[in-house]
Amino acid sequence: PNGRLLSEFEDTPPMSTYLVAFVVTDFECVSGTTPNNITVNICGRPDAILNGDGNYALEVSVKVIPYYELSYNVSYPLSKCDQFALPDFAIGGMENWGLITYRETALLYNNKTGTLANKQRVGEVVAHELAHQWFGDIVTPQWWNDIWLNEGFASWVEVLGLNHSNPEFRSFDTFVSDVLHPVLIMDSLYSTHPISVEVTHPDEINSIFDAISYNKGASILRMLYTVLGQSTFFKGVSDYLNHFRYGNAVQDELWTFLNAAINPSLLDNHSVKTIMDTWTLQEGYPLLTVIRNSTDNSIVLTQKRYFLDPYELNQTSLNVNSFQWYIPFNYMTSSNSSSIQWVAPNQTRILPNIV
């Protein structure tokens, strides 16, 4: 009526307000379907899409979505997944539920002129944003102080997703050089901050989207994933997602579900929360010192917070010994390798007769 056009849309599942988005464009799309009949659309400028620049992102998406469904043991709850490459977009990607928006260079890849580094970057960002469709969108953090769970989790799970779609990129190896090593420098400075920080004002929100939330968050979740094992880790995550589906949660609730999935002896009878609080609620990380005693073949392990610049520490009144962690480790001898061992806070760990 009156020259207006009325459009009606299907109801969405209950969703967080910050994940709502819509687009109005004259873009073209290239489409595909997952084994569970989820339609995937990669959309962008018509000339780019007609040139085939959306094909690689589509290839990654139709492989990664069913892989995540299997890993999380939670079906993708929407009928389609639209992904838009925007010519003018400030960030790499935004995980709006079912309508992911990207900077063009993070979604489109020209197979004739693009480099392998460009291709890997597109795969990483697509796998990252798709990981959010479960962890962040189906269950959303209750408040911004837990945003590291969103970003750290997606930054780790993207490694699994990209390894599934493109194992030739060796994402498990590049994680160490591209994610872990850079944040070790940042987190060794006096100016660093804990992963989980209290947010009391809107002006503080942007500042926590940094390498500590993304890289360190991913690194400690990688550590937990390695200790628990893939099946146990995802069993806890699956139970967490199903319990809080279409709602909000805090980090302690994730620890509770991970804890319920394990044999307590695996963590030396400590809870997941007890261990992970030492990594999320205090800044920095430990330097683990290992000393071999040649007289009795014992090994002594001690910990101390690491600072890149000891001079910086000397200029403060900070008590470095007040920072202590639960540290998992294992070792190999000439005859066998050990199971996961632990150094507890304020503990001098002695391993006798190691030959």
What does the pLDDT look like over 36-66, one tens digit per residue? 999 999 999 999 999 999 999 999 999 999 9
Angstrom distance (rounded) from CA 174 to CA 151: 18
- Ligand-binding annotation for 128, yes or no, is yes
Which residue among the candidates 59, 95, 129, 158 is catalytic per the annotation? 129
- Ligand-binding annotation for 132, yes or no, is yes
Kind of pairing between the strands at 80-86 and 39-44: parallel
Sign of the C-alpha dihedral computed for residues 163, 141, 14 and 17 taken in this order: negative
Domain boundaries, the chain: 17-116+125-133, 152-281, 286-351
- Ligand-binding annotation for 151, yes or no, is yes
pLDDT digit string, tens, across residues 284-314: 999 999 999 989 989 999 999 999 988 777 7
Q: State which residues of the chain have pLDDT below 50.
A: none
Note the pLDDT of residue 332.
87
Architecture field, domain 152-281 = Orthogonal Bundle (1.10)
129 is catalytic: yes
Note the pLDDT of residue 119.
98
Note the pLDDT of residue 302.
97
Note the pLDDT of residue 9.
87
Domain 17-116+125-133 in CATH 1.20.1090.10: no
Note the pLDDT of residue 337.
81
- Specify whether the CB–CB gap between 83 and 126 falls below 8 A: yes
Note the pLDDT of residue 1.
62
3-state secondary structure the chain: CCCCCCCCCCCCCCCCHHHCCCCCCCCEEEEEECCCCCEEEEEECHHHHHCCCCHHHHHHHHHHHHHHHHHHCCCCCCCEEEEEEECCCCCCEECCCCEEEEEHHHHCCCCCCCCHHHHHHHHHHHHHHHHHCCECCCEEECCHHHHHHHHHHHHHHHHHHHHHHCHHHCHHHHHHHHHHHHHHHHCCCCCCCCCCCCCCCHHHCHHHCCHHHHHHHHHHHHHHHHHHCHHHHHHHHHHHHHHCCCEEECHHHHHHHHHHCCCHHHHCCCCHHHHHHHHHCCCCCEEEEEEEECCCCEEEEEEEECCCCHHHHHCCCCCHHHCCCCEEECCECCCCECCCEEECCCCCEEECCCC
Note the pLDDT of residue 70.
97
% of the chain surpassing 90 pLDDT = 83
Alpha carbon of 260 to those of 30, 88, 240, 273, 346: distances in Å?
A: 43, 45, 10, 11, 27
* Lookup: tokens for 123: 């795969």
Note the pLDDT of residue 104.
97
Whole-model pTM: value is 0.92
C-alpha 276, offset from chain centre: 15
Angstrom distance (rounded) from CA 208 to CA 225: 24
